[in-house]
Amino acid sequence: MNNEKRNKDIFTYIESELNRIQTIAGTLASIERQHYQDLINMGDDKLNQLAVEEQNAARQLGEVKQICLSLAQQIRELGQESGPTH
């Protein structure tokens, strides 16, 4: 029983950290999208290139967010399969 509780606690911790990473990635992706818009609106070719790089970074952060959401769901399911903790 003690081992089951320990496993459940580990699953809960991993899920919590994945959710935290997902939140951070989502926030950074939003900032990168805003930077893209700001840079594009300036109309300079060099700034437009930076804008494209910001857009790519936003996409990659969006992918990190989705990966974290998926992993958190899988961890949640594993935690549920590990059985009751009482």
Q: How far apart are CA 5 and CA 11, in angstroms?
A: 10
What integer pLDDT is reported at residue 18 of this predicted model? Answer: 94
pTM of the predicted model, to two decimals?
Answer: 0.78
What are the per-10-residue average pLDDT scores of the chain (86 residues)? 84 93 95 94 93 94 94 89 60
What integer pLDDT is reported at residue 2 of this predicted model? Answer: 86
What integer pLDDT is reported at residue 45 of this predicted model? Answer: 93
Residue at token pair 């998926």 = 70
